[in-house]
Every structure is written in C-alpha cells, then in structure tokens.
Structure 1
Amino acid sequence: MLDSAFNARLGDFGLARALESNKTSYVELEGVTGTMGYIAPECFHTGKATRESDIYGFGATILETVCGRRPKCDIAGFQFLVDWVWKLHREGHIIDAVDPRLGGNFNEADAEQLLRLGLMCSHPTPNKRPKTDVILQILSRSVPPPDVPPFKPAFVMPAAEPSTESDSSRLHSAGFVSSYTASTSGG
C-alpha cells in the first residue's frame, strides 16, 4: 500500500503466507481484514487468504501507483479505481488513467503495460489472475503485456471440492452432488 506521500507500506497482500499453514482464513483473524479496494472479491465469500488474493492486492497497488488515486475512491461515478480503469480500457483511453500530476512526462507504453497488468491482477475470477512468475516476466519485458478483455468480467465464485468425507456425504445426502452430476451429464 502507499501512504499519503506515496511511500510504500507493507499491507494487505502477503497475508496468505504470513498465517500458519493450517490457518488461511481471514475469519480466524476476526472477520475480513484489510482495506477496501485491496481485498479480492472471493475473500468476502470464502473468508480465506490465498496467493490469488495477494495478487489482487498487488494489482490494486499497481493501479494506485500509476493513477495516483486510492483503490477505493469516487471517480467519474465509480466507487473503485479498478472499475474506472476498466471503463477507460474498454473505450480505448486507458492512458487517461495515468496520474495527471505527471504532466504527460512518462513513457506511454510502460504506463499502458502497467495499467493492463494491474487490471489482470485485479481480475474478479481468482484463477484468471497472472501467477507471480508471469508478473515478473511482464515487468522485466520478457513476455508481452497481458491481453485484457474490454469489459470487466463478472465475479465467478470458484468451485470448491468438499474438504472432508463428511462434507462430501452431507452434500450427497442433501442432493447437491447428485443433482449437479445429473445436470452436467445430461441426465
């Protein structure tokens, strides 16, 4: 995260690795903790910190740095910076998101690459976010910037496998697994 003078501060992302290996839940830390705009959407549904949710927070930091605005802000009718940047991207004006205080004194190709990377790291679906090694390759220019869809994709809750046999039995007895299996197998 960045403070009011844009100095880097250790914050939200990294929480997944900081917790004990058997405790990856925000809920165990007395509710979802963090700053709005940095918290991945799935965290509100699962209560779990993951590497993917860390990437989401990193994406928010990229956008905050390039745009010179907080991830949760009121800009052009949008409550979150990521939504505003996605709109500019869709309209072909993503470069307009760059902090105006730079007075146009920046490399447009680099700024566009960072904005696109920030959008992909902030993808609503966790498994669509780039992995850390890919992010490093993009930043080092070893691979091209990511393709970003013109419209912000809808949040899709990742499917979860039952974690224990009792969970699986409970789902079967409630008819969830069998009705899902029948609907996907055409039966």
Structure 2
Amino acid sequence: MKRKILLATILGSFFFSGIAFSEVMHGSFKGFPIVKLFIDGKEINNEVPAIVVDGNTLVPLRVISEALGREISWDGDSQSVFVGKKPSNSNAQSTNQNFEFSGLNDYYDDGLLGIYHVTGQVKNISGERTSRFIEITVTLLDKNKKVLRTQSGYLSSFGGLDNNETGSFDIQFINPPKNIAEYEVKVKSSGF
C-alpha cells in the first residue's frame, strides 16, 4: 500500500513539474502556460499567444487564418466569426413558378478590382422548353433590407432550357458595397 502511495506521489510530481516547466520554458499569459505556435515550419509570435486552458490548447484564430491566406471577419450582431467565405445569405425567388433554384453560393474575389459573385443553377420545371432567354436578377441588401445594388444577367445556356434542364449563372458586382447582409435572386423568362 505504501508503495502505491509513493508511486502516485512520484508520478504526480513529474506531471505537475512538467506543467510548471512548460510555463517557465515559454512563459505565461494571464496565468495560463504559453505554447509555441508554428505554421508551415515558421514560428508565429503574436501579442495574444497560444495558451493551454484546462488541458485544451487555445490558438489565436486571426493569426492562423491570415497566415494561411484566409479572410476572417467578425459579425457583432450574430456574435459569429467567419473564416473564409461567409455562409450564403440568399433569398431566392422566382417571378414565375416554372423555375427552381439550387446550388446558390456567394463569394468575394479580392483580386485587383474586388468582385462579389452570386452563383447558382436554375432548373426549368415548367413541363415544356423555354423558347427565349432566361434573365437572372440579383439584388444586394444591407441588414435593414435596404437595396444596395442590383445586377442582371442571363443563364449560360442561351436559347432556353428543356423541361428539367438546369442552367448556371454567375452574376458579378465590381467594387461591391462592404455592408452586404443578404441578397435576393429572381428569375424570369421571356417566354415558353
């Protein structure tokens, strides 16, 4: 019995001395041991370091995201952090019941011009072939549903769609407003 207590005491002292050693080795931040952070072999130093809290390693998300070339943003209204693309905030509507949407997506291309894309597919469910062009209109809205900008274009399959056929679209906004909260997508056909 004494041997078990002695063994537990020795193992416990090794465990706690390891924690104390790591804190002495790298320092502490607000009372928590600091952990070195490496991305692609390069050590990352930041004013808010990686730390260990209750056995979990917490790392600064902004530093990691930016080091990996990903955009990061904060939405105070929803108390959410977005790394890379935000989830689609679409309100897809068809101006007639002959079409349905699928695969709606939006993304920001931060190249030289800065282009905001709204992409997706429209399926003809009318029961017959569309005989003319199918126009897609995207309206960008702010969080109060105020219209920021509207842009129209046509499906990639000019000349119509057969019944149950799907066409793709990519509506682009050059130099878009920064306060886009959601978008509406509408479709109309010149005829069947």
TM category (shorter chain) comes to under 0.3
TM-score normalised by structure 2 residue count: 0.23
Higher strand share: 2
Higher Cα radius of gyration: 2
TM-score by length of 1: 0.23
